[in-house]
C-alpha cells in the first residue's frame, strides 16, 4: 500500500472500515452490454454506445389503455407552453426555453432516464435514456445505453437528433428531474440547450390533479396499476438499486443486473404514452356522462380534477360544462357549476345549480343562495332561512354567518318599519 | 490611546467618472491611503490582503475596483464571500447602494444563500453579476451545479474573501479546498480572477493568506482612517473569597458598568461571549430601567437590521451583543464598549474595542476579565494585551482528509484529468487518492480520467466545519430517527446502557452498532444518569522529536490518541450516589494526530524531589515495602488480577487502590486489602484512572487555558492531559497536548515553538495568584489539583520557565 493510503487509513481513525480494493476493472466492453441487453453497438466519435429498439403495434394496449396517437390536445399544448404546472425551467435562459408554442404536428417524444443517482448536480449522469414515439402503425421505443462515463459525447450525439427533432417532450416528473438533468449533460459538454424551442409536457402534475383524490400516491407505478390496470409481469427493479447495478457493470463488467433496468425503462416509456392517452380520453369522456366500462370508472373525483384544471388554464366554458354534467352526482360539482354560471352572468343557471347543491346539504351553496336572496332578490326573510340552512349544514365559519345573520335581521327590521 | 487624523491618497487614474462622482456624492472624494494602495495594487494585477482596523473602509477597497471594471465591461462578474449570512446581508446592501449611485444595476448584486427561496434562485442566477454568499453555499449550492453558473464563471474577474482570519484550523483548510475548486472551474471556463482578502490583525497575515488563498498577496496593513482617542480600562470583578480565589460574577459587574456608562449619557455596546451571556445581562439591565436591546444569533434578519440601524442613528442607547456584531457590520461609532470576558484573541478584542469612539468625541472601552488563568494573566499586566503581538492563525490547506474530501467534490464537478494537481499533491498522489475513490465505489477511471459514478452528492457529506468524522445515528426501538452524535463522542455518550438525554428526555441505549453507525434507544425514567469511564492513552507513531529547552524536555510528533470507554457508573440523579458499576468492551477510538509534550528533565526532577516539590512518584513506600510486596504477589498467585498475565513478559507491579499519598502513614497505605498485583500495562491504565493529583495536573490545567496566548485556538481544538509516565518522553512525566482534528493543522508544533512563553506565563499566573491551594484562575480548584497541587505546580512552572 502506498504511504499516502496508509496515512489516509490512519487518519480516518478506528472507525474507518478497511475498503477492499476492487479488482482492476476490465474495460467494460460495450459488446458485453449489447449482448446482455439485446442491443447493438454504435461506434461514435468518442466511443461506443449501445442502442436497443423495440416496436409495438399500435393496436396493443397497456393495461386497459391504448397507446394513443401522440397528438397533444390544444389544451395540453397551452398548459405545456406555460411551463406545465409550475415547474420552472432549471436554467438561466428564462421561461423561453419551453414557452415556444408552435402549431403543426411535429413529433411527440416520450422519454425517461435512469441515472447514477437522484442527487442532481453536474456529477449525476444519465446512463440510459428511453425514447418513445409513434411511427406509422407502431409505437417505437429506442434505448440509448452509456457503456462508460467517458463515452458521454457519443451518447449525446445519438440522443441530440431525437430531442431536437421533436416538437414536444413528454415525461413523468421531468420538470424537476429529467429535463434539468438532460440540459446539464448537454451544457457540461458545451452543447446548445436541446430544450430551447420545444414544448415539455410533464404528466406528473396532471396525474396529481386527475387522481390525487383517489390514489394513495401519484407515482407512475401507482397510476399505471390503479388507473390503467397494467400489471408488470417481470420482477421490477427497485429504483434505489439502479445506481448500484450500473456501478457494478462499470467497475466489474456485470451487465446481467442491468437487464431488469432496461425492461423497467422500456415499460416506463410505454406507460408514458398510455397515461397520456388516458388523459386525452378523459377530455372526451367529460361533459357527456360517465363512460361505462372504463377502468377505473371515470368518476366524480377525476371529473372534478379535469374541470378544475380546465378552469385553471382559462377554459371556463368547458369547465362549466364538465361541472354541470356531474351536478347530479356531486353537490361539489353543482356548486362549482353555479359559481361559473354566476361568473358568466347567468344568474338563473347559477341559482338552479346552487339550489341543487344546497338541497344535497352543501353549506357554501346555501351561503351563495343567501347572498343572491339578500342582494339580488331583496328577500331578507328568504336569506335568513338560507343562513339557517347553511348553519344546519355545518356552515363554514369563514362565511361569517353570525355577521350576515345580524345584518339581515337589521334589514328585516328596517323593511318592516 | 491617542486618536489620529486621516491620511489620504488618490484614486488610480482611469477610475470611470460615474464611479468617481458617486464616491464624491457619498463624501468619499478622497480615499484613505490604504484604500488607494490596495486599489493600485489590484489595478497592477496583484492579489491583495488588507488588515486595517474596524471601520477603516476596507469594503471600498474591493467595491471600487469591481464597480470600475463592471463599468468598463458590463459582463464582468465577481464573488464576495462572507463567513456569516448576517454579514453578507449587510455588505450586499452597502454594495447595492454604491452600484445604484454609480449606474451599475443594483439588481446584479445578488445574495444567494440558504435564505434564498427556491423559486427565486433561477432569477437570481440569471441576474447575477456580483454574487454575495458564504463558503458553505459556494461549496454545496453553486460549484456542484456550475453549468447553471457558466456565464458568471466565464467572466469571473474578482474573488473577495472577507474576514480571512476566521478561516483557521479545519475551516481554513476547507476554504482553501473550496477556492481551489472554484478556480479550477473558472479556469476551465476561461476566467482568471484576482483575489482581494481582508482580515483582522494576525501574527502571520501573509503566510495565512497564502495558505488559505493559495496566492502571494500584497499586504496593506497601515491604517490611514481617522481614529478617535480612546480610554481603555482593564478590570476584574473583586474577590469574594481570596483563599478560594472566588470573584463576583462577571456578567453582573459588566451590567453594572454598562448601566453607569448609560447613565452618563453614553451610547453603550456590550459584548457578552455567548447567547446565554446576552440573556443574562439583559435581565438586570431591564430591571434597572435601562433601555436595552439584545443582538444575538436566532434573531430574524429584519430584527438584526433594526438594531443595527438604531445603533447608527443613536436610537438604541444600550445594546448587548454576541460576537455576531464583531464581524464588520457597520453600526457607526459608539461612545462606550464593554467587553465582558476575554474573547479569546487580541484581534477579536480589538475588533470589539474598535467600535468605541466617534470622530468628534473620544471613546471609552472597558474590558472585564474573568476567572480563567488566561484572563488572570492578561489582567495582571494590561500591557500583555496592549503590547502583545497578535496571534497567529494556523491551518493546513493540504490536510490529507480535506484533500480527499475536496477531490471527491472536484471529481463530481468535472472529471479529474491525468495531470491534475491538488495543492502540494502532484499527479501521482492525486492518482493514488483517485484510486481510493474508486475503491470506495464512487469513481471510475478510464483513459486517464477519473469520473464520478457514485450516487451521492459529495458536497452534502462534507461539512466545512469538521474533518473526517463518521456520525452515529440514533433511533428509537421502532427505527424512528432520534438524533445524531459524532463517532468519537458516541463511545462515551451512547455506549450500551448509557442514559442519553434527548431534548431533555432520558433515553437508555439498548444497542450501539459502531460499524453500522447507529444506536438504538428506548425511553427511560429520569432517576438515574450514567457516567462513562474514559481512558486516554497517547502513544507516538515513530520516534518523536525531542529537544532540551532549558530545564525541560520538549517533544513533538505524530501520535495515536487511543480513547477507550472501559465502563460506566449508574448514578442516582438526585444524590449523586453510585448505584452500580459496569464494564464495557468497546473498541478504542483511535485519533491519529500531532502532539506537543513537555516535562522536567532528570536533573530538574531530582531537584524538585529533593525540595519535596514532587510527590507524584510511586516509589518509596516505606521500609516494610519489599516484604508487603512479596506477600501480595504470592496472594495473587503471581498473576495480574486484571488481565491474568503471569509476569513472564514483564515484571509484575503491586498497585495501591487508594493512592499512597492519600494516607497519613505508610503502614495504613500498605495494608494488603489496599494492594493488588497488576502487569505494567494494566498498572499504567489504573494509574491514569485515578486522577494524578499533582503539580503536573496543575500545569496541564494552566496549559489548557493559556494555549491561545500566541495562536488562534479554542478549547475544542486541543486535548490536554498530565501523564506520570509518557511514552512521548521515554516514560518520563509529561504534560501532553494533542490536536483534536485528525492529522492536526499545526497547533501542536506552534505550541512547542511558544514553549518558553507559555511556561513564563504559566509561572506568572501561579506566582501572582493570591489563592491558598489552587483556584479556577490558576491550577484549578483544590478538587482538581488536590494535595499540595498548587505548591508543586508553582515549583514545576518556576523550574521550567
Question: Model confidence over A218-262: pLDDT tens digits?
Answer: 999 999 998 888 988 777 788 889 999 999 999 888 899 999 999
Question: Span B481-509, mean pLDDT?
Answer: 84
The topology under which CATH files domain B230-386 is: Rossmann fold (3.40.50)
Shortest distance between the Cα of A258 and any Cα of chain B, in A, equals: 16
Tell me what pLDDT residue B510 has: 92
Under the banding of pLDDT at 50, 70 and 90, the label for residue B268 is very high
Tell me what pLDDT residue A16 has: 45
Tell me what pLDDT residue A285 has: 58
3-state secondary structure of A410: helix
Tell me what pLDDT residue A86 has: 42
Q: What is the dihedral of CA A287, A288, A293, A299, to 10 degrees?
A: 30
Is B23-220 assigned to CATH 3.40.50.10480?
no
Cell numbers representing residue B7 in the block: 491620511
Q: Are A202 and A76 in contact (CB under 8 A)?
A: no
Neighbours of B392 (CB within 10 A): 21
For residues B205 and B53, the model is more confident at B205
Question: Residue by residue, what is the 3-state secondary structure of B311-361?
Answer: HHHCCCCEEEECHHHCCCCCCCCECEEEEECCCCCHHHHHHHHCCECCCCC
| B230-386 shares the fold of B23-220 | yes
- Average pLDDT over chain B reads 89
Tell me what pLDDT residue B654 has: 84
Under the banding of pLDDT at 50, 70 and 90, the label for residue B162 is very high
What is the rounded CA–CA span in Å between residue A261 and residue A253?
A: 15
What is the rounded CA–CA span in Å between residue B208 and residue B206?
A: 5
List where CATH 3.30.420.10 sits in chain A: 23-283
Question: Span B546-556, mean pLDDT?
Answer: 96
Residues 144-173 of B with CB under 8 A from A: 144-148, 150-151
Shortest distance between the Cα of B686 and any Cα of chain A, in A, equals: 23
What is the rounded CA–CA span in Å between residue A278 and residue A281?
A: 5
Residue B486 near chain A (CB below 8 Å): no
Under the banding of pLDDT at 50, 70 and 90, the label for residue B104 is confident
Tell me what pLDDT residue A95 has: 35
Residue A158 backbone phi and psi in degrees, to 5: -75, -30
Comparing A195-204, B125-134, B307-316, which segment has the lowest mean pLDDT? B307-316
Closest partner CB to B470 (pick from A15, A93, A247): A15
Tell me what pLDDT residue A92 has: 37
For residues B322 and B300, the model is more confident at B322
Q: Are B710 and B750 in contact (CB under 8 A)?
A: yes
What is the rounded CA–CA span in Å between residue B483 and residue B474?
A: 5
Comparing A334-338, A342-346, B281-285, B514-518, which segment has the lowest mean pLDDT? B514-518
The residues of chain A scoring below 50 in pLDDT are 14-17, 27, 85-105, 292-296
Cell numbers representing residue B729 in the block: 518522553
For the stretch B125-151, what's the b/e string if a residue is b when 16 or more beta carbons lie within 10 angstroms of its beta carbon? Answer: beebbbbbbbbbbbbbbbbbbbbbbbb
Residue B480 backbone phi and psi in degrees, to 5: -80, 140
CA–CA distances in Å: residue A311 to residues A321, A357, B54: 11, 20, 60
Residue B666 backbone phi and psi in degrees, to 5: -65, -35
- DSSP string across A361-383: T-HHHHHHHHHIIIIIS--HHHH
Q: Residue B439: left if φ>0, alpha if ψ -120 to 50, beta else—which one?
A: alpha
The answer to whether A92 contacts B592, with C-beta atoms less than 8 Å apart, is no
Taking each helix axis from N to C end, the angle separating A347-359 and A331-343, rounded to the nearest 10 degrees, works out to 160
Taking each helix axis from N to C end, the angle separating B755-768 and B789-800, rounded to the nearest 10 degrees, works out to 140
Tell me what pLDDT residue B785 has: 44
Shortest distance between the Cα of A194 and any Cα of chain B, in A, equals: 14
Comparing A112-126, B325-339, B392-406, B753-767, which segment has the lowest mean pLDDT? B325-339
The answer to whether A94 contacts B126, with C-beta atoms less than 8 Å apart, is yes
Strand duo B363-368 + B230-235: pairing: parallel
- Residue for grid cell 336569506: A383
Q: Are A337 and A320 in contact (CB under 8 A)?
A: yes
Taking CA–CA distances from B403, the nearest residue in chain A reads A8
Tell me what pLDDT residue A298 has: 65
Strands (E), B573-688: 578-583, 589-600, 653-656, 675-678
Taking CA–CA distances from A192, the nearest residue in chain B reads B147
Q: Which residues on B lie below 8 Å from A150 (Cβ)?
A: 446-447, 449, 451
Residue B555 forms beta bridges with which residues?
A: B546, B597
Closest by Cα among A67, A58, A17 to A279 = A67
Tell me what pLDDT residue A297 has: 53
Torsion sign across C-alpha atoms A224, A227, A233, A235: positive
Tell me what pLDDT residue B220 has: 96
The secondary structure element, H or E, covering residue B84 is none
Closest by Cα among B6, B38, B417 to B227 = B6
| Prediction ipTM score | 0.86
- Superfamily of the domain at A23-283: Ribonuclease H-like superfamily/Ribonuclease H (3.30.420.10)
Report how far apart the first and last C-alpha atoms of chain A are (Å, whole number).
104
What is the rounded CA–CA span in Å between residue B796 and residue B801?
A: 9
CA–CA distances in Å: residue A325 to residues A98, A318, A339, A382: 34, 11, 14, 28
Prior bond of B90 cis (ω within 30°): no
Q: Which residues on A lie below 8 Å from B145 (Cβ)?
A: 120-122, 184
Residue B457 near chain A (CB below 8 Å): yes
Neighbours of A330 (CB within 10 A): 20
Q: Which of B41-45, B487-491, B781-785 has the highest mean pLDDT?
A: B41-45
Comparing A377-391, B709-723, B773-787, which segment has the lowest mean pLDDT? B773-787
Q: Which of A263-272, B78-87, B708-717 has the highest mean pLDDT?
A: A263-272
Question: Span B505-511, mean pLDDT?
Answer: 89
Shortest distance between the Cα of B416 and any Cα of chain A, in A, equals: 12
The contacts of residue B446 (CB under 8 Å, 6+ apart) are A27, A148, A149, A150
Cell numbers representing residue B61 in the block: 477597497
Cell numbers representing residue B611 in the block: 525540595
What is the rounded CA–CA span in Å between residue B774 and residue A318?
A: 88
3-state secondary structure of A246: helix
Tell me which DSSP letter residue A82 carries.
T
What is the rounded CA–CA span in Å between residue B663 and residue B584?
A: 31
Chosen from B404, B451, B453 to mutate, greatest number of chain A CBs within 10 A: B453
Residue B53 backbone phi and psi in degrees, to 5: -75, 180
Closest by Cα among A281, A272, A337 to A304 = A337
What is the domain partition of chain B in residue ranges? 23-220, 230-386, 400-461, 471-526, 540-616+692-801, 618-689
Comparing A10-24, B291-305, B366-380, which segment has the lowest mean pLDDT? A10-24
The answer to whether A89 contacts B541, with C-beta atoms less than 8 Å apart, is no
Tell me what pLDDT residue A158 has: 96
- DSSP string across B418-485: TT--BTTB-HHHHHHHHHHHHHTTSEEEETTEEEE--SS-HHHH--TT--S--EEEEEETTS-EEEEE
Amino acid at each position: 500500500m502506498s504511504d499516502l493510503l496508509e496515512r489516509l487509513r490512519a487518519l480516518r481513525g478506528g472507525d474507518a472500515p478497511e475498503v477492499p480494493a476492487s479488482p482492476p476493472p476490465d474495460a467494460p466492453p460495450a459488446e458485453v452490454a449489447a449482448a446482455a441487453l439485446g442491443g447493438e453497438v454504435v461506434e461514435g466519435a468518442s466511443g461506443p454506445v449501445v442502442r436497443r429498439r423495440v416496436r409495438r403495434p399500435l393496436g396493443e394496449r397497456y393495461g386497459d389503455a391504448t397507446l394513443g396517437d401522440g397528438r397533444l390536445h390544444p389544451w395540453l399544448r397551452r398548459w405545456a407552453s406555460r411551463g406545465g404546472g409550475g415547474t420552472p425551467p432549471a436554467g438561466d435562459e428564462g421561461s423561453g426555453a419551453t414557452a415556444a408554442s408552435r402549431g403543426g404536428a411535429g413529433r411527440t417524444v416520450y422519454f425517461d432516464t435512469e441515472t447514477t443517482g437522484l442527487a442532481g448536480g453536474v456529477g449525476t449522469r444519465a446512463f440510459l435514456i428511453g425514447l418513445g414515439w409513434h411511427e406509422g402503425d407502431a409505437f417505437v421505443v429506442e434505448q440509448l445505453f452509456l457503456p462508460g462515463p467517458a463515452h458521454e459525447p457519443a451518447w449525446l450525439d445519438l440522443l441530440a437528433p431525437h430531442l431536437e427533432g421533436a416538437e414536444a417532450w413528454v415525461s413523468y416528473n421531468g420538470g424537476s428531474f429529467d429535463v434539468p438533468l438532460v440540459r446539464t449533460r448537454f451544457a457540461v459538454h458545451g452543447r446548445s440547450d436541446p430544450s430551447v424551442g420545444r414544448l415539455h409536457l410533464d404528466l406528473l402534475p396532471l396525474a396529481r390533479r386527475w387522481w390525487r383524490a383517489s390514489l394513495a400516491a401519484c407515482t407512475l407505478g401507482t397510476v399505471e396499476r390503479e388507473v390503467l390496470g397494467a400489471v408488470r409481469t417481470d420482477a421490477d427493479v427497485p429504483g434505489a438499486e439502479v445506481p448500484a447495478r450500473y456501478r457494478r457493470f462499470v467497475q466489474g463488467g456485470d451487465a446481467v443486473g442491468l437487464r431488469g433496468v432496461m425492461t423497467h425503462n422500456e415499460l416506463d416509456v410505454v406507460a408514458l404514452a398510455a397515461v397520456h392517452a388516458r388523459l386525452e380520453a378523459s377530455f372526451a369522456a367529460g361533459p357527456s356522462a360517465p363512460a361505462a366500462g372504463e377502468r377505473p370508472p371515470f368518476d366524480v373525483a377525476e371529473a372534478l380534477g379535469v374541470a378544475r384544471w380546465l378552469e385553471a388554464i382559462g377554459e371556463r366554458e368547458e369547465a362549466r360544462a364538465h361541472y354541470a354534467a356531474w351536478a347530479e352526482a356531486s353537490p361539489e360539482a353543482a356548486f362549482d357549476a353555479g359559481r361559473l354560471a354566476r361568473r358568466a352572468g347567468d344568474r338563473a343557471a347559477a341559482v338552479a345549480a346552487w339550489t341543487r347543491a344546497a338541497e344535497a346539504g352543501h353549506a357554501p351553496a346555501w351561503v351563495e343562495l343567501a347572498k343572491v336572496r339578500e342582494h339580488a332578490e331583496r328577500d331578507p326573510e328568504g336569506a335568513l332561512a338560507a343562513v339557517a340552512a347553511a348553519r344546519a349544514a355545518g356552515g363554514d365559519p369563514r362565511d361569517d354567518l353570525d355577521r350576515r345573520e345580524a345584518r339581515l335581521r337589521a334589514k328585516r327590521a328596517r323593511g318592516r318599519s | 490611546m491617542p486618536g489620529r487624523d486621516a491620511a489620504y491618497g488618490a484614486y488610480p487614474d482611469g477610475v470611470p467618472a460615474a464611479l468617481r462622482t458617486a464616491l464624491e456624492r457619498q463624501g468619499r472624494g478622497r480615499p484613505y491611503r490604504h484604500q488607494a494602495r490596495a486599489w493600485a495594487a489590484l489595478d497592477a494585477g496583484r492579489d491583495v490582503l488588507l488588515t486595517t482596523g474596524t471601520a477603516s473602509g476596507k469594503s471600498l477597497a474591493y467595491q471600487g475596483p469591481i464597480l470600475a471594471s463592471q463599468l468598463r465591461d458590463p459582463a464582468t462578474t465577481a464573488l464576495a464571500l462572507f463567513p456569516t449570512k448576517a454579514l453578507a446581508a449587510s455588505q450586499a446592501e452597502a454594495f447595492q447602494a454604491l452600484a445604484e449611485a454609480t449606474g451599475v444595476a443594483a439588481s446584479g448584486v445578488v445574495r444567494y444563500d440558504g435564505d434564498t427561496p427556491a423559486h427565486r434562485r433561477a432569477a437570481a442566477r440569471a441576474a447575477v453579476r456580483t454574487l454575495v454568499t458564504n463558503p458553505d453555499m459556494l461549496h454545496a449550492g453553486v460549484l456542484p451545479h456550475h453549468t447553471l453558473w457558466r456565464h458568471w464563471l466565464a467572466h469571473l474577474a474578482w474573488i473577495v474573501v472577507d474576514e480571512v482570519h476566521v478561516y483557521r484550523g479545519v475551516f481554513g483548510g476547507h476554504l482553501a479546498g473550496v477556492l481551489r475548486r472554484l478556480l479550477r472551474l473558472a479556469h476551465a471556463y476561461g476566467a482568471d480572477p484576482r483575489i482581494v482578502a481582508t482580515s483582522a490583525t494576525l501574527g502571520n497575515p501573509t503566510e495565512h493568506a497564502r495558505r488559505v488563498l493559495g496566492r502571494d498577496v500584497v499586504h496593506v496593513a497601515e491604517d490611514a482612517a481617522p481614529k478617535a482617542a480612546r480610554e481603555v480600562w482593564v478590570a476584574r470583578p473583586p474577590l469574594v473569597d481570596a483563599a478560594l480565589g472566588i470573584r463576583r460574577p462577571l456578567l453582573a459587574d459588566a451590567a453594572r458598568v454598562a448601566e453607569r456608562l448609560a447613565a452618563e449619557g453614553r451610547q453603550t455596546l456590550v459584548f457578552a461571549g455567548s447567547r446565554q451571556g446576552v440573556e443574562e445581562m439583559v435581565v438586570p439591565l431591564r430591571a434597572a430601567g435601562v433601555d436595552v436591546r439584545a443582538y444575538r444569533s436566532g434573531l430574524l434578519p429584519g430584527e438584526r437590521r433594526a438594531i443595527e440601524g438604531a445603533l447608527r442613528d443613536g436610537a438604541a442607547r444600550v445594546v448587548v451583543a454576541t460576537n455576531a456584531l464583531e464581524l464588520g457590520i457597520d453600526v457607526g461609532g459608539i461612545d462606550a464598549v464593554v467587553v465582558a470576558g476575554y474573547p479569546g484573541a487580541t484581534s477579536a478584542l480589538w475588533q470589539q474595542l474598535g467600535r468605541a469612539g466617534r470622530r468628534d468625541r473620544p471613546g471609552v472601552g472597558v474590558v472585564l476579565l474573568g476567572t480563567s488563568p488566561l484572563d488572570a494573566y492578561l489582567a495582571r499586566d494590561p500591557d500583555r494585551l496592549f503590547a502583545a503581538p497578535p496571534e497567529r492563525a494556523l491551518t493546513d490547506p493540504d490536510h490529507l482528509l480535506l484533500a480527499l474530501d475536496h477531490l471527491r467534490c472536484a471529481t463530481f464537478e468535472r472529471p479529474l484529468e491525468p495531470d491534475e494537481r491538488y495543492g502540494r499533491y502532484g499527479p501521482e498522489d492525486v492518482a493514488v487518492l483517485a484510486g481510493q475513490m474508486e475503491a470506495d465505489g464512487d469513481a471510475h477511471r478510464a483513459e486517464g480520467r477519473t469520473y464520478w459514478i457514485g450516487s451521492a452528492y459529495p458536497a452534502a457529506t462534507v461539512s466545512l466545519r469538521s474533518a473526517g468524522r463518521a456520525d452515529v445515528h440514533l433511533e428509537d426501538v421502532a427505527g424512528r430517527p432520534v438524533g445524531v452524535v459524532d463517532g468519537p463522542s458516541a463511545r462515551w455518550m451512547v455506549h450500551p446502557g448509557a442514559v442519553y438525554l434527548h431534548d431533555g428526555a432520558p433515553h437508555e441505549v439498548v444497542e450501539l452498532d459502531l460499524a453500522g453507525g447507529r444506536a438504538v434507544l428506548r425511553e427511560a425514567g429520569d432517576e438515574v444518569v450514567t457516567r462513562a469511564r474514559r481512558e486516554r492513552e497517547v502513544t507516538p507513531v515513530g520516534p518523536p522529536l525531542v529537544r532540551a529547552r532549558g530545564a525541560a524536555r520538549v517533544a513533538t510528533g505524530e501520535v495515536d490518541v487511543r480513547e477507550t470507554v472501559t465502563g460506566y457508573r449508574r448514578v442516582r440523579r438526585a444524590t449523586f450516589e453510585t448505584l452500580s458499576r459496569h464494564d464495557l468492551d468497546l473498541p478504542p477510538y483511535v485519533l491519529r494526530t500531532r502532539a506537543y509534550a513537555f516535562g522536567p528533565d532528570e536533573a530538574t526532577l531530582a531537584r524538585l524531589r529533593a525540595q519535596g516539590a514532587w510527590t507524584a512518584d510511586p516509589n518509596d513506600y516505606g521500609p516494610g515495602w519489599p516484604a508487603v510486596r512479596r506477600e501480595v504477589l504470592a496472594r495473587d498467585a503471581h498473576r495480574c488480577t486484571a488481565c491474568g498475565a503471569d509476569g513472564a513478559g514483564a515484571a509484575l507491579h503491586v498497585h495501591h487502590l487508594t493512592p499512597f499519598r492519600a494516607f497519613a502513614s505508610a503502614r495504613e497505605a500498605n495494608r494488603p486489602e489496599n494492594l493488588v498485583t497488576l502487569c505494567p500495562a494494566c498498572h499504567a491504565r489504573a494509574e491514569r484512572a485515578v486522577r494524578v493529583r499533582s503539580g503536573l495536573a496543575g500545569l496541564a490545567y494552566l496549559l489548557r487555558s493559556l494555549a491561545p496566548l500566541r495562536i488562534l485556538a479554542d478549547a475544542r481544538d486541543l486535548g490536554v492531559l498530565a501523564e506520570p509516565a509518557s511514552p512521548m518522553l521515554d516514560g518520563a512525566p509529561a504534560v501532553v497536548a494533542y490536536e483534536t482534528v485528525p492529522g492536526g493543522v499545526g497547533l501542536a508544533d506552534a505550541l512547542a515553538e511558544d514553549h518558553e512563553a507559555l511556561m513564563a506565563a504559566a509561572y506568572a499566573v501561579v506566582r501572582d495568584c493570591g489563592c491558598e491551594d489552587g483556584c479556577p484562575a490558576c491550577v484549578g480548584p483544590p478538587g482538581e489539583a488536590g494535595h499540595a497541587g498548587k505548591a508543586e505546580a508553582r515549583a514545576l512552572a518556576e523550574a521550567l520557565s
